[in-house]
């Protein structure tokens, strides 16, 4: 599971309205989706969202939100890397740009008509030089994350906490470039999501799958970024809470190297516009803002909108 992602704080088990060409009648959905006693009795902040996510699986054509879905029409970043696009140079790259993320998941195989099973997730995060008329407003960088994972709902309440979900999976991350602009890596990850009435907690760790060293920097084979875990990190720790109508999400990523410690923190502050949309203020500080920037320390602040996630 992925709740928060500090390369975009993220809450995993979040429902978008199901898409499909066929609808099952209400009784069929009720027969297929059962609510457990712990979901009814427990006041955890995530229970209503997870119940909705499970109910959407009654439609076999459903697609649900995976990480956050948002658009930040205006952001300011302190140290953007121009290497992500051939038309950009250190002299003409703009500190002002738009950022957006689209993220969905769909079930591949479900066990016993429950939310337990195998899923396919796909996330696209883009950094758009929208205000850079000098070079025709190009996309500076786009990151792609396909992943496949097994998810199991825990439905365990202990000491006032609901252990909501566990995930184990494979993640590929790439910017789709070649030569010296190429960035990519593969990892196996495990994560756990738990919550209480007002708070969400998230822990994720991963192991990078080793690659052969490049013989030539323009060779398509070999490791594009052998030191990425030293900057991007080896684990994520997330926390979310609500203060009145405001919601705060924070994610800390760290390389667990105390001799040469690096990582990042991202803070998201949201306020509801409607039942479906929030205003989003996002702040990032550290390494791994994007793949092309993985080894460049950045600060970014942006304002925009996102699909409601709690």
Active site residues: 172, 174
Q: Which residue has the tokens 């500090």?
A: 6
User: Rounded to whole angstroms, how far apart are CA atoms 32 and 51?
Assistant: 13
Instruction: Using alpha carbons, select from 58, 171, 177 the residue that is nearest to residue 121.
Output: 171
First to last CA, the chain: 16
Which two three-digit tokens encode residue 159? 């000491």
Is the Cα dihedral 210, 214, 218, 224 positive or negative?
Answer: positive
Is the Cα dihedral 20, 155, 206, 264 positive or negative?
Answer: positive
Integer angstrom CA distances of residue 255 from 61, 213, 300: 39, 21, 20
- In eight-state DSSP terms, residue 158 is E
3-state secondary structure of 47: helix
Instruction: Using alpha carbons, select from 281, 302, 288 the residue that is nearest to residue 252.
Output: 288
- In eight-state DSSP terms, residue 135 is G
3-state secondary structure of 56: helix
Question: Residue 117: CB partners within 8 Å, gap ≥ 6?
Answer: 107, 108, 109, 110, 111, 150, 151
């Amino acid at each position: 599971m992925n709740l928060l992602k500090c390369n975009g704080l993220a809450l995993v088990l979040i429902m978008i309205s199901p898409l499909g060409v066929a609808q099952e009648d209400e009784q069929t959905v009720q027969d297929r989706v059962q609510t457990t006693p712990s979901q009814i009795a427990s006041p955890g902040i995530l229970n209503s969202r997870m119940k909705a996510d499970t109910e959407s699986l009654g439609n076999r054509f459903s697609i649900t939100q995976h990480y956050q879905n948002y658009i930040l029409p205006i952001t300011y970043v302190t140290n953007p890397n121009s290497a992500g696009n051939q038309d950009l140079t250190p002299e003409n790259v703009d500190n002002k740009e738009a950022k957006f993320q689209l993220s969905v998941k769909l079930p591949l195989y479900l066990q016993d008509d429950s939310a337990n099973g195998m899923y396919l997730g796909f996330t696209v995060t883009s950094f758009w030089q929208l205000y850079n008329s000098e070079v025709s407003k190009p996309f500076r960088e786009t990151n792609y994350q396909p992943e496949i994972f097994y998810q199991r709902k825990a439905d365990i309440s202990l000491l006032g906490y609901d252990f909501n979900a566990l995930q184990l999976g494979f993640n590929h991350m790439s910017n789709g470039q070649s030569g010296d602009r190429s960035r990519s890596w593969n990892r196996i990850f495990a994560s756990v999501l738990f919550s209480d009435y007002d708070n969400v907690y998230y822990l994720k760790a991963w192991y990078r799958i080793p690659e052969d060293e490049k013989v030539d920097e323009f060779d398509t084979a070999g490791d594009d970024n052998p030191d990425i875990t030293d900057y991007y990190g080896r684990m994520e720790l997330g926390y979310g809470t609500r203060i009145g109508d405001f919601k705060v999400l924070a994610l800390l990523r760290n390389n667990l190297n105390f001799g040469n410690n690096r990582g990042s923190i991202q803070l998201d502050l949201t306020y509801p516009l409607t039942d479906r949309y929030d205003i989003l203020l996002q702040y990032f500080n550290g390494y791994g803002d994007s793949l092309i920037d993985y080894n460049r320390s950045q600060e970014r602040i942006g304002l925009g909108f996102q699909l409601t996630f709690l």
